[in-house]
Structure 1
Amino acid sequence: MSKKKKSIPPAVSSPVVKPIEPQPSSPTPTARVDSPRPGVEPDKEPAFELIRFDKRVKWFLGICVGLFLLLTLAKINYSSIGMWNTVVPDGSDARRGIVSGKPRSIRIDEWGVVTPFMMSQAHQNFPLENSAIGGEKVALVGYYPIKHFVSIFRPSHWGFFLFDIEHGFAWHWNFVIFFSIISTTLLFLVLTRNNFWLSVFGSVWLIFSPGFAWWSFFLLTLQFAGTVMLLSSIYVFYASSTRTILISGLLFLWSFASFALILYPPYQVILGYLLLLLLVGFVWRNYRKELLFNKLWLKLGTFAVAGIVLGLVFYQFYVDAKSTIDVMSNTVYPGKRSETGGTGFIANWFSEYYSGWLIDNENFPKNWLNVCELSHFITFTPVIAVCTVLYFIRTRRIDPLLTILLGFVLFTLVYIEIGFPTFLAKATLFDLSPTRRAQVPFGIANVVLAVLYLDYMRQQNLKIKGGLSFGLVVGVIGFMVYAAWLNLNDSDGFYKAHQLFIPTLFFMGLNYLMLPVSTFRYKDVVIAGALVFFTIPNFKINPVGKGMSPITENMLYQKVRELHLQEPNARWVVLGSQYLTYMVTATGVNQLSGVKNQPDFKTMRALDPTAKRDSAYNRYAHTVYSTYIDPVHPDTVVIQNNFEDAYQVGVDPCSPKLRKLNVRYFIFDHAPQPVEIRCMKQVAKLGGLEIYRTND
């Protein structure tokens, strides 16, 4: 990943949008009005502006960009590829390439699949077709480095084209983290009226939440593109400068394409609704005709041109990717998934109050599947919902942005916990998002809601006293007792009552501070700071590594690379361990075994000419090959589907079918029997692994 900045889209850096100058007769001051002190009702609204690029914001941006460049140049990443030191041991240090932390075996999708896929693409010069990772133009539809115009919209991959694999890998990891922090902070600055510390703390809280961290920050690609898209839209709406409007329009075009072309509807649908409603709520709250209609034709033209260009981009992408999309959408798994909700959370809505204290990679309630699936985001929505109603009753005013967002959170909660009628699920496209995936963008919405509520609470400075105040406090205590009871019950004995005491007190205190029963200066920042403090341990979820030595210095990797460079067109098969197939994929060889992001029908039709076992391999799958020799029925190929995302192939290593597929190299995870190697000779022996090549 690179230190060059010329390929990075320009940050939203327009001048402050100023209000119309007051007429001489108007007593309204032109200076910005400070936020009201506690207990003092503001006489006038603060002057409207978007992002105030003061020294604090500039320093913050500089620090983030500087860390991105520094860590990328140092080849720092946060991958769990250190697992390779123990999964395929070669006698080296088990801590090779690990700076700090512990690699996570549960993140096999990252260290065993996505990382080898990236390396395979890089070693093969970023091809459109790569049967080692799947059929058709797999890298075009999947989010992998590729030589295609679509890479313009995949900024986390730019480092692979500018530098070597290790720096490109570091670029990917540091880009998604630091630029997501930057874009989210800038968005919070807009939404919270330039509340700097709340925006920074809210961004750190969101980006390092378990719902992101335990999934190796994969969703941050969507998070980054979405926040830039929303920011650029707001700037086009409110900017007065032609230059700002045009730059913002370009950013809107780029970020919209980036968001749309990631092609993962389970997250995109709900996150897309969230972004749209935030835009609607912001414009409603800040409806200023003089700004919105200023240079209206230029703004409309900017969006129109962006729409035309996006149409051309999407059309060309569809033309190139149609056959691949058709194959992917017609797989047995995941295929055309459609759900109507109602299956609930993997853990429960309030499990994050306790999981961060008491759960890790190896220890968690078994009925919660695994630490990744159960992880989501801290919520304060129950208290916020009650308090929002109280604010309305007392002030007779609503904040459109806060109200719309709260309504959306509750709407999505109904989908997750109760479910929608089929027609509503399909009409809203929620049916494309299974509840276990919907809980992630739902959690993002909960965090954004909390940040906006804290800003709203600061602006209102309402203080409720007397019996109502007492009732609210009792309600918070009751709510937290319920949350503790719910987690005790759901965890099926994993939690003990005494373990939940301190977490319950901690979040009881934060929920209490959310109530309008006490006011003090910087209350919003104190709450957000406490949440950052709570979030800090999440920094250790992913290890810190330097370079890719756990893979690139492994003896198996180096030997396969050596043989591959001598005979680059030969195909490979691993007979045995699926973990070996992951490592072999990273070398860039064209292998039959390994993970297939989508079915490779060209290859499988050679092994299954009549498509008798089509349903077994028509899926995203981890494929494992093994020896199967039947003297009675020579050259028989057995294909069995043993898991939803896996299948096995039993084949004679000397089968003519493999010869037709140009398979020349075989890796055995055991000492092969003479009948298995009757047509080949050994070319390498690495401990218990043996590599053979066919005789012809």
Structure 2
Amino acid sequence: MKKIRSFGIFFIKWRYVIALFVLLCSVSLNLNGSSIANWNSFGVRETVSGTTSETKTVDDYQGIQKLKLWIPSLSRNDDTVIGSPRPIRSDEWLVQTPFYLSQVKTGNHFINKSYQDSGQNMMLAYNVSSWHISTIGKPFNWGFLFLGASRGLSWYWSFKIIALMLLSYEFAMILTSKRKLLSVVSSLWITFTPTVQWWFMQHLGDVVFFSLLIMVSIYHYFNSEKKVFKIMMAINLIIALIGFPLIIYPAFQVPFAYVIMAFTAIQIFKALRNKKVKLFDVIVIALTLFVSLMIDVLTIYQSWDAISATLHTVYPGKRISVGGEYTWKNLSDFLFNIFLPFKTPQVSNQVELSSSFNFLLYILLILPFVIKRKDIKKNIFGIILVIYSLMLMFYSIVGIPTILAKLTLFSYVPFSRSWQSMSVIAVFASVWFISFIWDRLDRIKLTKILPSLLFVTILYLYRGLTDDIYKNYLGRFTTISFIVIMLVAFICILYRKNRIFYSIMLVIVTIGGLTVNPVTHGIGVIENKLLSHEVESIVEKNPNAIWMSDSTNLYHFVQMFGAKSIDGVRFYPDKQLMTKIDKQNQYEEVWNRYAHLKYSLTNENTSMTTPVPDNVNINLNVNELKDLKIKYVLTTRDLNKEFGSSFTEIYHDNDNNRIFEYLK
């Protein structure tokens, strides 16, 4: 044990050096967590070497065979080293990652002109990389500016995970009054919370990252006497105060903003009370706020047309949420987490079902029996986390009046996003509670807490054993086992069985969180395809030609290679383009939305449908191609046979992907 303890002390002491070394190794080895291998399942399998690239996911195996995917292997020909690519994460591999690759290929401009006619503001497009001053607040994007597409993607994933672990450790040290081992476990617990990992490359991952960066920087700023260190924390704050507002996803920003404000208010009050605020601090804080605010205002001003267009869309538009659409049954949703990486559910999907492993219900019922009035002042932030988690739960299950929702800005927060925010904040609350219990000098009497323990456990068991969703998805044995394990873990907290608790949590975090995203080597699954090389070659010869896809899933493919295209994923409508297609303005309710634009050529009149809220299917009359100045069409159909000699086939591969040149 002494050797393990010595290693732990060494690891913690040199954590930043070790983190830098791991980051450099990861980027050098070109590793990322993208599910980009799913492009194989979208009909792009033929490689330049003539082989066929295949992708296996958890849905391709049964039972124990699924674990094969988590045995590291270099023999898988889709560049996945370990884990399962996630088809459900299409927001990542089908949307966000192609945006990044397109940006690198076209010069990382703030407005990407590849998305015809008007281009697309890339600040709204998941905040991808661009040569813009706002990129100061997006450190995980810096690699795309200097390292190219493949290693830029590696920098994104590696930096974000490593930095989030470091921030989680520092935040846990604040919550736990510097309990180092508990903070190490908590850093993994927070970073690999299932809902964070399922949303990692999108909004929630960013919101958690910047929230922790703000709170950790503020804490260390006010608790340091060294001016150089204070300036370093101020720089961190500038990055965070640019990054957090420009996520532009209030559904997660609003819930976490309240946590940040509460923490900041407490730290400022303590600093003022202890007379730690000097003239130097006033100047530094003022400059920090001024610089970050000016960059935020400039970016929003330059993006206002796009933001306004988004707010006036049919979907998502300016939604008014009041909560109240979940039920008390969702209190046991944490049971799903342990199976989500290994089994696709039949109801909803992994992303929406994901939450966290936390002890909030136990804490809510037991806290009144263990906290004393004298404890409140010292533990005010932890208590706020518990109460606020309860409020978020109330909002999701019961709801609030519309006027209150608007006043609190929760009108921007759908019930499901409130619930997932609560799941993460409940982890923060759990970490605080553990330290609070372990700081107590007196032992907790079992007779006081036994009814609460039994009530929560019976509630979980009742839900798990009577609801068909749990019975069919988890099975009774797994359900009972997991509930008992969580109960044992909580009892270990109450009676200071540290080692058992750490072991249980590390196993749970590893199974339910660490297995969510795969480890992938590079982006060869895209770059080394025959179709990719052909598109890239055509773009080099004719960079200003306009493309479109026809009757294919590859509507967001050619943009990755710098091609200008009228399809793809649009965060807000291109009215200039839509005016050309929808000349009579018949279909504004259809195209005025966040949309995956998909075209099918036809001899009939142009029409549009929206089968699901974020998809727009356009049946485009073939004669419209001339007005739209289309030069190349990517399709799986024989356009010569269907539309005559106006098309010349210039490419055809074994996946039946074809490229036609339009001659009129």
TM over 0.5: yes
SS state at 2:172 partner:
helix
The answer to whether the 8 A contact 1:129-1:138 is kept is yes
Equivalent positions of 1:338-353 (< 5 A) are 338-344=320-326, 348-352=330-334
SS state at 1:610 partner:
coil
AA of the residue aligned to 1:650:
N
SS state at 1:294 partner:
coil
How big is the shift at 1:345?
A: 6.8
Match of 1:69 in 2: 24
How big is the shift at 1:436?
A: 1.2
How big is the shift at 1:326?
A: 0.7
1:405 aligns with 2:389: no
Match of 2:645 in 1: 678
How big is the shift at 1:137?
A: 4.2
SS state at 1:420 partner:
coil
1:610 aligns with 2:592: no
How big is the shift at 1:528?
A: 4.0
- CA distance in structure 2 between the partners assigned to 1:348 and 1:147 by the alignment: 43
AA of the residue aligned to 1:562:
S
Q: Which moved more, 1:443-452 or 1:227-236?
A: 227-236
- CA distance in structure 1 between the partners assigned to 2:328 and 2:143 by the alignment: 36
Match of 2:123 in 1: 140
The answer to whether the 8 A contact 1:461-1:519 is kept is no
Give 1:378's match in structure 2, choosing from 354, 357, 365: 357
Q: For each residue in 1:156-208, what CA deviation from the matched residue of structure 2 results, as whole angstroms up to 9, or x when unmatched?
A: 11001111210001001111111111111112112322211111111101111
If you compute each CA radius of gyration, which structure gives the higher value, 1 or 2?
A: 1
- CA distance in structure 2 between the partners assigned to 1:358 and 1:306 by the alignment: 44
The answer to whether the 8 A contact 1:666-1:691 is kept is yes
SS state at 1:642 partner:
coil
- CA distance in structure 2 between the partners assigned to 1:217 and 1:199 by the alignment: 24
Match of 1:29 in 2: none
Distance 1:458 1:676, change over 3 A: same
Which runs of 5 or more residues in structure 2 are unaligned?
1-7, 55-76
Distance 1:476 1:456, change over 3 A: same
Give 2:531's match in structure 1, choosing from 556, 566, 577: 556
Match of 2:428 in 1: 448
SS state at 2:648 partner:
strand
How big is the shift at 1:385?
A: 2.2
Give 1:640's match in structure 2, choosing from 603, 606, 609: 609
SS state at 1:141 partner:
coil
- CA distance in structure 2 between the partners assigned to 1:153 and 1:420 by the alignment: 34
Match of 1:547 in 2: 522
AA of the residue aligned to 1:621:
A
Q: For each residue in 1:545-568, what CA deviation from the matched residue of structure 2 results, as whole angstroms up to 9, or x when unmatched?
A: 111011111111111111111101
Match of 1:46 in 2: none
Distance 1:444 1:315, change over 3 A: same
Match of 1:197 in 2: 181
Distance 1:136 1:124, change over 3 A: closer
The answer to whether the 8 A contact 1:130-1:139 is kept is yes
- CA distance in structure 2 between the partners assigned to 1:130 and 1:124 by the alignment: 8
1:86 aligns with 2:68: no
SS state at 2:355 partner:
coil
The answer to whether the 8 A contact 2:200-2:206 is kept is no
Equivalent positions of 1:489-500 (< 5 A) are 489-492=466-469, 493-494=471-472, 495-500=474-479
SS state at 2:658 partner:
strand
Distance 1:302 1:677, change over 3 A: farther
SS state at 1:674 partner:
helix
Match of 2:58 in 1: none
Match of 1:101 in 2: 83
The answer to whether the 8 A contact 1:280-1:401 is kept is no
AA of the residue aligned to 1:207:
T
Q: Which moved more, 1:497-506 or 1:444-453?
A: 497-506
Equivalent positions of 1:464-479 (< 5 A) are 464-465=444-445, 469-479=446-456
1:536 aligns with 2:510: yes
- CA distance in structure 2 between the partners assigned to 1:534 and 1:164 by the alignment: 36
SS state at 1:616 partner:
helix
Equivalent positions of 1:221-236 (< 5 A) are 221-236=206-221
- CA distance in structure 2 between the partners assigned to 1:149 and 1:677 by the alignment: 50
Equivalent positions of 1:154-233 (< 5 A) are 154-218=138-202, 219-233=204-218
- CA distance in structure 2 between the partners assigned to 1:396 and 1:262 by the alignment: 37
1:504 aligns with 2:483: yes
Distance 1:606 1:394, change over 3 A: closer
Q: Give TM-score, length-normalised by structure 2.
A: 0.89
- CA distance in structure 1 between the partners assigned to 2:645 and 2:432 by the alignment: 70
How big is the shift at 1:107?
A: 1.3
Distance 1:543 1:387, change over 3 A: same
- CA distance in structure 1 between the partners assigned to 2:496 and 2:221 by the alignment: 37
The answer to whether the 8 A contact 1:136-1:323 is kept is no
Distance 1:679 1:434, change over 3 A: same
Give 1:363's match in structure 2, choosing from 337, 344, 361: 344
The answer to whether the 8 A contact 2:114-2:563 is kept is yes
Match of 1:313 in 2: 295
Q: For each residue in 1:344-402, what CA deviation from the matched residue of structure 2 results, as whole angstroms up to 9, or x when unmatched?
A: 279722222x2234444653252xx1111000112211221233212235867552122
Q: For each residue in 1:469-510, what CA deviation from the matched residue of structure 2 results, as whole angstroms up to 9, or x when unmatched?
A: 135234313321211221344443424433322112211212
- CA distance in structure 2 between the partners assigned to 1:333 and 1:670 by the alignment: 31
Distance 1:283 1:385, change over 3 A: farther
- CA distance in structure 2 between the partners assigned to 1:258 and 1:358 by the alignment: 33
The answer to whether the 8 A contact 2:548-2:567 is kept is yes
Distance 1:376 1:651, change over 3 A: same
Match of 2:443 in 1: 463
How big is the shift at 1:461?
A: 3.0
- CA distance in structure 1 between the partners assigned to 2:536 and 2:376 by the alignment: 67
Match of 1:581 in 2: 555
- CA distance in structure 1 between the partners assigned to 2:634 and 2:479 by the alignment: 50
Give 2:107's match in structure 1, choosing from 90, 115, 125: 125
The answer to whether the 8 A contact 1:230-1:279 is kept is yes
AA of the residue aligned to 2:255:
I
Match of 2:63 in 1: none
SS state at 1:623 partner:
strand
SS state at 1:156 partner:
helix
The answer to whether the 8 A contact 2:647-2:663 is kept is yes
Q: Which moved more, 1:120-129 or 1:300-309?
A: 300-309
Distance 1:599 1:381, change over 3 A: same
Give 1:273's match in structure 2, choosing from 258, 264, 267: 258
- CA distance in structure 2 between the partners assigned to 1:350 and 1:474 by the alignment: 19
How big is the shift at 1:675?
A: 4.5
Equivalent positions of 1:294-305 (< 5 A) are 294-305=276-287
SS state at 1:140 partner:
coil
- CA distance in structure 2 between the partners assigned to 1:421 and 1:351 by the alignment: 26
Distance 1:489 1:566, change over 3 A: farther
AA of the residue aligned to 1:78:
G
How big is the shift at 1:282?
A: 5.5
Report how many aligned residue pairs link the two structures.
622
CA RMSD of aligned residues (A): 2.3
SS state at 2:122 partner:
helix
Q: Which moved more, 1:408-417 or 1:246-255?
A: 246-255
